[in-house]
Chain A
Amino acid sequence: MRDDVVILGAAETEEVGRLPETSTLELHVQSARRALADAGLGLHQIDGIATVSTGGPGPVAVAHALGITPTYVDGTSVGGSSFLFHVRHAVAAIRAGHATAVLITHGESGRSRVGAAPWARQPDSSMAQFEMPYGVLGPPTTFTIPALRFLQETGNTLEHLAEVAVAQRRWSSRNSRAMYRDEVTVDEVLGARMVAWPFTLLMCCLVTDGGGALVVTSREFAEAHGSDLPLVNVAGTGEAATTPMVSQMEDMSTCRQFTLSSQAAFREAGMGPSDIDHLMIYDAFAHVPLYGLEDMGFVGRGESGAFVAEGNTSPGGSLPMNTNGGGLSYTHTGMYGMFAIQESVRQLRGQAEAQVDDVETSLVLGNGGMFMSAATLVLTRG
């Protein structure tokens, strides 16, 4: 495991949820300012910028608004896992000497759509020709399609989908910033308003406004300039992408990029699933954590549903997962990956509201698009 690159600063916007008075750009800027303050750094100490937002400002606009003139720029845009990719690329850039301190920002007015372009339709794109004609309306009607095949092939059940939502509420009930905090039962999840059978409203992520930012730098630089908080070591990273169209997944009972990106991250960290104390899996919908647990090897094939139902991922369980409440209950701006990283950093620093004891290692699995791309970070304390 290499320990030469660290996360020095991490912060979310002061509030997440409904922020109709704040533009997309301002969400980037506010989270960046807070992350810089967290890192104890000034603008002049940042030489790298990485960002993306759906229909919003890119890295140059964010850097300029902040007053940074970057000499390393990354605008990799692969959906909600983009920020995990940005961390991976920043690690490589820092090791290569292309950057010293990289600021990674996210801001999205996902709910209020302030300062963001409307959702675009290009009627001659592949997706427009071969998916959009069928009455699809975004992720709730497309990301969800693989689930029935997954359940049939793995032996997991509809109740297991509901158990994921139940477990997430156990965590969000401990998080004062979470949008939904009331604990729910399996029957309540299954009985909630139907969105796209078999998915009820409580199996679908929130739609919120918010932002977050990270400062990634060398250990050497961090120790010379940094804060008193524990450093978070980027021990291993991985990335992969398969198809922009969910209908073209090779096998809907498994997500290949989850496996590929996590294998790369584990290999680099010199670790395996049994070494991980705390887990964040991008939970845009209730089936995604089940794929993640199985595809990363935390459980065997077909075992994820029972693993969650038995309480292993819940408070007090053997593998605390999505401890902020996740995209299902905490917040989901449209690009949730930044918030998953933030919670891992908080847990490793001992700063989380629902703090788990003795978190030395945390893994973040990010998803992008509708099972389109994925990236994995293995983070360690110190």
Chain B
Amino acid sequence: MPITDTKPRADVADRFVPKASPETRPFWDGTAAGELRIQSCTDCDRPFFYPRSSCPRCGGEALEWITCSGRASLYSYVISQRPAPGFEPPTVIAVVELEEGPRMMTNIVGVPPEPQFLPLDLPLQVTFEQRGDLAIPVFEPSESEVAR
């Protein structure tokens, strides 16, 4: 099965560029370095996302940044037909579950945006899309999946 990139890169310039806040800066420094970094609580040893200043599970403030493997699985999604600025629909808007546990919203790229190629729990790997001065984490089917 050929894997085609359906996102015209020329449009990326028109896509929404978020702005880092002080507490999320390490996350965006991570993506700029090609790494997916999330926080983990040293009291309850539980990683979480999105970045914040205390653990949402136990309230602990002793947090550390960890670098994720980048492996994830497809948790749920829609295939949007709506033309968001910079996106050429159809766009796969997904929530993925990181190997470390937390979930995040993202786009699925590198696969035709059709349901038969996007079964839930599909193994995924992070990649980064440069947008403005930020690198946005998006996911594509993992290499083992592509080779299959």
A interface with B by C-beta (< 8 Å): 121, 123-124, 126, 128-137, 140-142, 144-150, 152, 193-199, 245-248, 252
Contact = CB atoms under 8 A, between A and B. Distances in A.
Contact of A145 (B15, B16, B78, B90): B78
B80 A135 contact: yes
B21 A149 contact: no
B18 A196 contact: no
A246 to B, nearest CB: 8
Given A132-B16, A148-B77, 17 more contacts: A121-B16, A123-B16, A123-B19, A126-B50, A130-B104, A133-B16, A134-B107, A134-B136, A137-B80, A140-B80, A149-B75, A152-B120, A196-B80, A197-B79, A199-B78, A247-B105, A252-B76
B84 interface: yes
B79 to A, nearest CB: 4
Contact of B104 (A149, A150, A196, A247): A247
Nearest to A150: B76
A128 to B, nearest CB: 5
Chain A CB within 10 Å — which of B21, B105, B115, B131 has the most? B105
Contacts of A146: 76, 95
**Leading 9 A-B pairs by shortest Cβ distance:** A149-B76, A135-B84, A247-B105, A196-B78, A197-B79, A135-B87, A123-B19, A124-B19, A129-B18
A137 B136 contact: no
A225 B106 CA distance: 56
B77 A145 contact: yes
Contact of B105 (A130, A194, A197): A130
Contacts of A252: 75-76, 95
Contact of A141 (B18, B82, B95, B138): B82
Contacts of B115: 197-198
B82 A140 contact: yes
15 contacts: A123-B18, A124-B18, A124-B21, A134-B91, A141-B78, A142-B93, A147-B76, A148-B76, A194-B79, A195-B81, A245-B50, A247-B103, A252-B75, A252-B76, A252-B95
Residue from B50, B93, B138 with most neighbouring chain A CB atoms (10 Å): B93
A198 B50 contact: no
A126 B21 CA distance: 9
B20 interface: yes
B78 A133 contact: no
B147 to A, nearest CB: 26
Contacts of B33: none
Nearest to A148: B76
Interface in B59-78: 75-78
Given A126-B50, A128-B18, A148-B76, A196 B95 contact: no
A130 B76 CA distance: 16
Given A140-B82, A247-B103, A145 B76 contact: yes
Contacts of B90: 197
Interface string B90-119: 110111000000011111000000010000
B13 interface: no
B76 A141 contact: no
B120 A131 contact: no
B53 interface: no
B146 interface: no
Given A144-B78, A145-B93, A198-B78, A135 B107 contact: yes
B6 interface: no
B30 to A, nearest CB: 13
A135 B14 CA distance: 11
A144 B107 CA distance: 15
B81 A134 contact: no
A145 B95 contact: yes
B22 to A, nearest CB: 9
A159 to B, nearest CB: 15
B54 interface: no
Residue with the greatest number of chain B CB neighbours at <10 A, chosen from A126, A128, A135, A245:
A135
B82 A196 contact: yes
Given A136-B93, A247-B95, A195 B18 contact: no
Contacts of A152: 120
B128 to A, nearest CB: 12
